[in-house]
Amino acid sequence: MPTPNLSFIDVCGGTGDIALRIAKFSKNLEDPNGPSMPRITVCDINRSMIEVGKEKAAQAGLTGINWVQGNAECLPFEDNQFDVYTAAFGIRNCTHVDKVLSEAYRVLKPGGRFFCLEFSRVNNFFLRTMYDAYSMQVIPIIGKVIANDWHSYRYLVESIRRFPNQVEYACMIEDAGFRSVQYTNYTFGVAAVHSGIK
């Protein structure tokens, strides 16, 4: 739960979905006589997505979010800056995941928390077989019909398949220096949240 005076960074934050949720939740808890709201930074490599995020924040009446264009593999921040690092469905798209994790470790304060929500590997063999068939054969067609974009949806499926499974990713997080690394599966492992402490 967000608490006052914490500093959050949402990396590969895109249009700010996670950051806006943190800000809305914190705003609902805000005590007019209490300490200040958490400090929230969104970092993404895509300037257009950041601009959309700024508009969404303005429309929601959420101010004070810091929007920064930057590469997750080489973050434009000093060491030990943030209490919490979040990333949702973005690290999978980075070329060097090990560099992303090293940067996450670097910018977190000692004792800081790392959280990553990402597509993962379905555990059950029968369900995985069905899911793989659906994702390879159906999702790109849906993308073509709805968005007239077969290639982007095919890339989505292929990027999910290339990403390390839950155990492999947990080991990579540990290799970056994090301790108490764990993960929780959602929807039979279609997605998982990994966490760790610096």
Which pLDDT score, from 0 to 100, does residue 156 have? 72
- Residues 114, 116: Cα–Cα separation, whole Å: 7
User: What pTM did the predictor assign?
Assistant: 0.88
What average pLDDT is seen over the chain?
89
> CB within 8 A of 143, min separation 6: which ones?
149, 150, 152, 153, 154, 156
What per-residue string of b and e applies to 41-66 under the rule 16 or more CB within 10 Å gives b?
bbbbbeeebbeebeebbeeeebeebe
pLDDT band with cut points at 50, 70 and 90 for residue 4: low
Ranking 55-64, 67-76, 177-186 by mean pLDDT, the lowest is 55-64
pLDDT tier at 20, thresholds 50, 70, 90: very high
Q: Residue 147 has what pLDDT?
A: 72
Residue 2 has pLDDT above 70, yes or no: no
HSE value, Cβ hemisphere, 13 Å, CA-based, for 39? 7
Average pLDDT over residues 178-184: 98
Give the pLDDT score at 31.
56
**More confident of the two residues 36 and 124:** 124
- Closest by Cα among 9, 43, 58, 1 to 26: 1
- Lowest model confidence (mean pLDDT) among 80-84, 118-122, 144-148, 162-166: 144-148
Q: Please compute the mean of the pLDDT values over residues 55-64 and round it to a whole number.
A: 93
48 compared with 148, residue with greater pLDDT: 48
pLDDT per position as a tens digit, 143-180: 667 777 767 767 777 888 889 999 999 999 999 999 99
Domains, in order of start, for the chain: 7-120+164-197 (3.40.50.150), 124-162 (no CATH)
Span 88-111, pLDDT tens digits: 999 999 999 999 999 999 999 999
Tens of pLDDT, residue by residue over 124-146, are: 787 777 767 667 776 667 766 77
